[in-house]
Structure 1
């Protein structure tokens, strides 16, 4: 076949590939050649590379602006990186505790507290982002099996970008807390960051040890969040710390609930955990046994809430506490029955785990009114 003649420049280029020069994007496809003249076609490998680098400096060199949608495309994997279901739990918990403290001290409310509560919420979300983010950085191989939709495992977010995000979250959250909430809350915040770090980062990587992992999650999401937010809110009101019966109840209730979340979060991940030799109760005792154990602990939690309302009517609204927690317990039993009927398929296990998080959100939603 006659050798292809060089193509004249400039070549027409589709808008999708403007950030790549014509000689690097186009190639001759000899198999498409007719009468010795090749038809230029895009090099798809280079095209994929162009798409993956939407903020390439080549755009400026070429004198063209990056597409307007690039920033929104960047935000989507960042949002997934933050694990939205954990943010909802953190936000609902902090709002519920602040609301309860204000309900107990209505005469001390002022609008300045709204801004301070907002700063506190941002700090908590930053801390949450650091903890879940650093876990993803050190779990890439496991996530490619268990959670391939997460942005680093899916290739939608680079490890360098993830490190930049988690360090920014930690620095921003700590700065907010130090400037607004004093040394004691700052020390609690640092403790939460430290526990989140040793949970995921070698050589500690305490997530490999079931008991240590459960205790860390229960401490951070249960005790530290509830105690810290309530303490900070009372301090902002000019009050010394003092437990109230509802706050003591929600702290104990959510600590047990966080323990259940720590146990059941491994249910959908058994395949990857076994492959990477991560020891969890689910890999040791089996999915069915752990699902039953988690359900049993939650049912005990709901029974405790009902008994607290019955025996402490002066502290709780019995007409709300009893029927709502009874209904949630029945819903949990029904969801467990669905899981059993589905023979503990991966999809059913994921649905069961999501349902447990929905129960967690519900408890915080009703808490200010109990």
Structure 2
């Protein structure tokens, strides 16, 4: 609390969310003002000034005015009491919200769905080996993957603050809701926690794959490498980490936990190839909403070079080819896939993609339409993992 004095009034400054309140002065020589403002660091500051002495020859006020002053004093004190109450729960809530946004929830959902789908498929293939005591180990694996995901997306935000202020001002560092120092603490904690969990539970081979994923995520964002500047390298990193490493690593670890040696099953080989191509499409289309900031900071992407419309059609075309291949695989390998589900499901998803691309074209590629298109691509990604254990 800071105290300062002036000659005529009593002022209180607080960072409480209340609107500014100014209590009108009575005809007495005393006046009370209560205002709410925010300091640079949202800390509470109080300034108290004593009332001026009554003017000579003028009464100090009737009992009515004194009662009025007393009521104003009560109002002012109650206001300050409310403003000065501890905002700790609110601060914790805001910090949790900033951390959640820092993790990029749409990527967390993709990681969690992918790992769950692959574990489920491995168990469906070997129902006689299901051991519920392994559930805890599976949960450790999901937590480790989320930690790795948090490290990769977090380190990217730390080195993209300027770009994000243009492209993604809602992200916590760019918005000023999370300091760079706090972000560094979080990403280092994610990396250490993930490595420890994997090392203690899944052995050296999976630990090596996990470390490779963290390394690729690092050189994607961190100077002097910063491979995100080069479209082909960026696409390959994203496709490798989110496509091959995630699917192969989770399936390998699950079979090892069941006491089985690794062998590719046709469905797992299919989903690994399918999602690797899908991750490539995500890598291409993720730059569509970011063209403005990428051009400003001279980040070379296919979207800045070829234009938003061409990249949207390229991404949609690759996904349609992916869906067509899925349908053909189901037709020619009926022994490995449930055709009555796999064919209509992928046909419907392809039709949805065509419709969303048409909507984007009709909207003339506005920023809102581009963002909606990109969200739809992620929804298709989630849908593939949801149906995977059933096909």
TM bucket (normalised to shorter chain) is: 0.7 to 0.9
Q: Distance in 1 between the 2:193 and 2:43 partners? A: 32
For 1:153-185, what per-residue CA distance to the aligned partner results, in whole angstroms no more than 9, with x for missing partners? Answer: 001111011011000011111100000000000
Contact 2:216 2:237 in 1 (8 A): yes
Contact 1:113 1:236 in 2 (8 A): yes
How many residue pairs match? The answer is 343
Q: Which has the higher contact order (CA 8 A, sep 6+)?
A: 1
Match of 2:200 among 146, 157, 179: 179
Bigger Cα Rg: 2
Contact 1:5 1:37 in 2 (8 A): no
Aligned to 2:63: none
Structure 1 segments unaligned to the other structure (5+ residues): 18-31, 52-62
The question of 1:239 aligning with 2:232 is answered no
Q: Distance in 1 between the 2:15 and 2:317 partners? A: 59
Q: Distance in 2 between the 1:12 and 1:253 partners? A: 62
Q: Distance in 2 between the 1:233 and 1:259 partners? A: 25
Q: Distance in 1 between the 2:15 and 2:98 partners? A: 24
Match of 1:300 among 304, 321, 343: 321
Aligned to 2:155: 134
Structural mapping, 1:1-370, within 5 Å: 4-5=6-7, 16=16, 39-42=32-35, 44-46=37-39, 49-50=42-43, 66-370=87-391
Q: Distance in 1 between the 2:169 and 2:371 partners? A: 14
What is the deviation of 1:44?
2.4
Structure 2 segments unaligned to the other structure (5+ residues): 18-24, 45-83
What is the deviation of 1:16?
3.4
Name the TM-score, length of structure 1 as normaliser: 0.88
What is the deviation of 1:261?
0.1
What is the deviation of 1:70?
2.1
Name the TM-score, length of structure 2 as normaliser: 0.83
CA RMSD of aligned residues (A): 2.5
Contact 1:4 1:36 in 2 (8 A): no
What is the deviation of 1:41?
4.6
SS at 2:39 equivalent? helix
Q: Distance in 2 between the 1:331 and 1:7 partners? A: 66
For 1:275-331, what per-residue CA distance to the aligned partner results, in whole angstroms no more than 9, with x for missing partners? Answer: 000000000000000000000000000000000000000000111111111111111
